[in-house]
């Protein structure tokens, strides 16, 4: 799928749109009704509701698009890549994070692994990720692999950096998620670094520690990741794999 401009879709699919429309239409009708009957309090409540729905919708679309890109720009800046690393993005979807990483790897490779499930992101196909990599001019350094995060088809110690954005939470069952996290650790090289953003990614810290990771930390991200719900910010878990020969 060749495109002039990359398009990264909407996380969670279009399921939210009918809800926003229904809530907005209901509140508008309520506002009209209150005006006709001269019910001032009900009219004010409806207006506040309309503003809240508009704010929620704007926040949702911001977080799934520009918000995600700006947060990951900062996380990738912090990683301070040399440019020759092998980077894996688990659950890469249409490639927003993968392609941002690929831009920083002039001599390296960015691999995206996914099962490309449509309900998790609109237009989520391997072809759309390929088209986006082409549109962004990085396709020659991007590899896309059909793979379930719980069974990654890579040998141990394959990647310098493992990234993931909003993917592990879509795996049902805590034991299945733990299996996927242990796979992420398995494919990370000694001395490698991991960055995982997710809903309550702090849940993953003990699993990463028991899988042998060091320097495991948790950071609560800012409003850009709130998907329109104040206080519902995503969490980042940071971890490293001990360097070969090191004692942790």
Ligand X SMILES: C[S@@+](CC[C@H](N)C(=O)[O-])C[C@H]1O[C@@H](n2cnc3c(N)ncnc32)[C@H](O)[C@@H]1O
> Which residues contact ligand X by CB under 6 A?
8, 11, 68, 91-94, 96-97, 114-117, 120-121, 124, 148-150, 165-167, 170-171
CB of 23 to ligand X, least distance (A): 22
**Is the Cβ of residue 27 or residue 184 nearer to ligand X in the bound state?**
184
**Is the Cβ of residue 197 or residue 213 nearer to ligand X in the bound state?**
197
**Is the Cβ of residue 46 or residue 133 nearer to ligand X in the bound state?**
133
Residues 213, 170: contact at Cβ < 8 Å?
A: no
CB of 21 to ligand X, least distance (A): 22
CB of 224 to ligand X, least distance (A): 13
Nearest to 148 by CA among 125, 171, 131: 171
CB of 169 to ligand X, least distance (A): 8
**Is the Cβ of residue 144 or residue 239 nearer to ligand X in the bound state?**
144
**Is the Cβ of residue 179 or residue 219 nearer to ligand X in the bound state?**
179
Instruction: Say how far apart CA 183 and CA 188 lie, in whole Å.
Output: 9
CB of 97 to ligand X, least distance (A): 5
Point out the residue whose Cβ comes nearest to ligand X. Answer: 93
Q: Is the dihedral of CA 158, 164, 168, 174 positive or negative?
A: positive
CA 143 and chain centroid, separation:
18
**Is the Cβ of residue 114 or residue 136 nearer to ligand X in the bound state?**
114
CB of 22 to ligand X, least distance (A): 23
Q: Which two tokens stand for residue 64?
A: 């799934």
């Amino acid at each position: 799928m060749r495109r002039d401009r990359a398009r990264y879709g909407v996380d969670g699919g279009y399921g939210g749109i009918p809800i926003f429309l229904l809530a907005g239409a209901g509140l508008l009708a309520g506002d009209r009704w209150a005006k006709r009957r001269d019910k001032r309090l009900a009219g004010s409540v409806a207006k506040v509701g309309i503003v809240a729905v508009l704010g929620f919708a704007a926040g949702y679309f911001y977080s799934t698009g520009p918000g995600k890109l700006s947060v990951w720009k900062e996380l990738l800046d912090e990683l301070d890549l040399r440019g020759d690393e092998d980077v894996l993005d688990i659950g890469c979807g249409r490639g927003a994070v993968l392609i941002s990483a690929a831009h920083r790897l002039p001599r390296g490779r960015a691999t995206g692994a996914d099962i490309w499930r449509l309900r998790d992101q609109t237009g989520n196909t391997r072809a759309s990720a390929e088209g986006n990599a082409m549109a962004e001019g990085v396709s020659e350094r991007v590899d896309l692999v059909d793979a379930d995060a719980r069974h990654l088809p890579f040998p141990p110690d394959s990647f310098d950096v493992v990234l993931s954005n909003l993917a592990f939470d879509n795996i049902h069952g805590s034991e299945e998620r733990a299996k996927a996290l242990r796979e992420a650790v398995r494919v990370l090289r000694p001395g490698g670094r991991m960055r995982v953003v997710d809903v309550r990614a702090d849940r993953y810290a003990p699993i990463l520690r028991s899988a042998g990771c060091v320097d495991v930390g948790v950071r609560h991200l800012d409003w850009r990741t709130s998907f329109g719900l104040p206080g519902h910010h995503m969490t980042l878990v940071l971890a490293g794999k001990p360097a070969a020969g090191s004692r942790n």
